[in-house]
Amino acid sequence: QRSQKRSNSTPENPRPKRTPCSHSPYVLLSPSSFSPSVTPSQKYTARGSRGEVVASFGSVEGPSWSGRGGRGCTLKLFGSPEENLTKSYKFMFQKVLDVREVLSWRIEELGDALKSHHHLEDFASVLLPAQEPVTVLGQIGCDSNGKLNAKSVVLEGDREHSSGGQVPLDLSELKEYSLFPGQIVALEGTNSTGRKMVVSKLYEV
């Protein structure tokens, strides 16, 4: 067998796949032919403008401080005590009952806005049977862990009128609707058995 000596090919000295000749465009289209006068990039560690102040505003040299200490200082809290923190508080820590209280208050607030905007009568309970159309208030929920669809929509009633009870909704009589879980709405419909409400009108915020 004849031993063949291979030429070393490194990233610094790449070996061309084709041997350049006078008729090949390899030499003409090389990077050096396009930018022969480009200087090599300066290394990041060799830069000379490290820590240099390029802009300043006002006098920042030699500030003078004067005071008489902290004797006789009293702190006065503005606003109601409920809106101010007077003791240590865990950031992003909420109790379940506090969250439920805020959600219930939000439902009542938006319920009043719906009532005044659409000129609605007093809300009824979602749990009581109703042969005639009644208006109820609550937030949209899902009866399963899957995605919300026309068959899985439930209404969780408010605490004041429905004590937080849930009732499935029949949306077949509505021409169009757009709902999402957690949406606060007022509905008009009939609940003849007390187990399912057939919705005839939908009042959104």
4 in any annotated domain: no
CB atoms inside a 10 Å sphere around CB 59: 7
**Mean pLDDT value across the chain:** 78
131 in any annotated domain: yes
47 in any annotated domain: no
Start-to-end CA distance of the chain, whole Å, equals: 89
* DSSP code for 39: P
Instruction: Look at residue 65 in the predicted model and tell me its pLDDT.
Output: 62
Please say if the pLDDT value at position 200 is more than 60: yes
Mean pLDDT of the 64-78 span: 69
77 in any annotated domain: no
Higher confidence at residue 172 or residue 82? 172
191 in any annotated domain: yes
- Residue 13, both tokens: 């000295």
Can you name the residues that pair with 187 across neighbouring β-strands?
A: 136, 202
Identify the CA nearest to 155 among candidates 145, 174, 172, 142. Answer: 142
Domain boundaries, position 170: 89-204
Confidence tier at 54 by pLDDT (50, 70, 90)? confident
Please say if the pLDDT value at position 3 is more than 70: no
pLDDT one-digit tens code per residue, 119-140: 998 899 998 998 899 999 999 9
pTM: 0.53
Higher confidence at residue 103 or residue 42? 103
CB atoms inside a 10 Å sphere around CB 170: 17
pLDDT above 90 covers a percentage of the chain that reads 28
The count of domains in the chain is 1
- Residue 94, both tokens: 């909420």
Q: Which residues of 65-80 are buried (b: 16+ CB within 10 A; e: fewer)?
A: eeeeeeeeeeeeeeee
CATH number at residue 117: 2.40.50.140
176 in any annotated domain: yes
In whole angstroms, what is the distance from residue 123 CA to residue 205 CA? Answer: 15
24 in any annotated domain: no
Mean pLDDT of the 92-109 span: 87
Look up tokens 């009042």; give the residue.
203
Pairing of β 184-191 and β 166-170: unpaired
Burial class of 169 by CB neighbour count within 10 A (0 to 12, 13 to 18, 19+): buried
Mean pLDDT of the 168-195 span: 91
Identify the CA nearest to 155 among candidates 205, 198, 106. Answer: 198
CA 191 to centroid of chain Cα atoms: 36
What's the length of the chain? 205
167 in any annotated domain: yes
